[in-house]
């Protein structure tokens, strides 16, 4: 069982930055690929970013490219999402998720086995 706990959300003005963290409670954290997803009010949860088990591969949703950066430290069992140049449309609950190290397609929710409880990001215009 993997427990994921997100933190770092909050209220920020448009153009500002936030750094989300996701701490995992499993010693074999390096066995898991990690993703960030978000759900805005009235919308379905959507993929934001992915990082492979060793950090060697990252992928981003088009909306995140050039503004967001995903990273991880397996020794600290933590994955981060650095979000810059935030826009009001980035407001959502952000979730981290853990999937197998040989994950196939990285965007579908079904590929991920474990989920955190989410952290709220609010962006004022």
Per-residue HEC secondary structure of 79-91 comes to: EEEEECCCCHHHC
In a structure prediction context, what are the per-residue pLDDT tens digits for the chain, which is 125 residues long?
899 999 999 999 999 999 999 999 998 999 999 999 999 999 999 999 999 999 999 999 999 999 999 999 999 999 999 999 999 999 999 999 999 999 989 999 999 999 999 999 999 99
Task: Give the pLDDT confidence score for residue 1 in this predicted structure.
Answer: 85
């Amino acid at each position: 069982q993997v427990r994921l706990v997100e933190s770092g959300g909050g209220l920020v003005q448009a153009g500002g930055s936030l750094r989300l963290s996701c701490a995992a409670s499993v010693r074999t954290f390096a066995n898991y690929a990690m993703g960030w997803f978000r759900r805005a009010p009235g919308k379905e949860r959507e993929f934001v970013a992915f990082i492979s088990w060793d950090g060697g591969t990252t992928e981003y949703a088009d909306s995140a490219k050039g503004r967001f950066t995903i990273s991880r430290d397996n020794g600290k069992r933590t994955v981060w999402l650095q979000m810059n140049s935030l826009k009001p449309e980035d407001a959502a609950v952000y979730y981290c998720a853990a999937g197998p190290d040989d994950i196939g397609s990285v965007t579908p929710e079904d590929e991920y086995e474990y989920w955190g409880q989410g952290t709220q990001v609010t962006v004022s215009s």
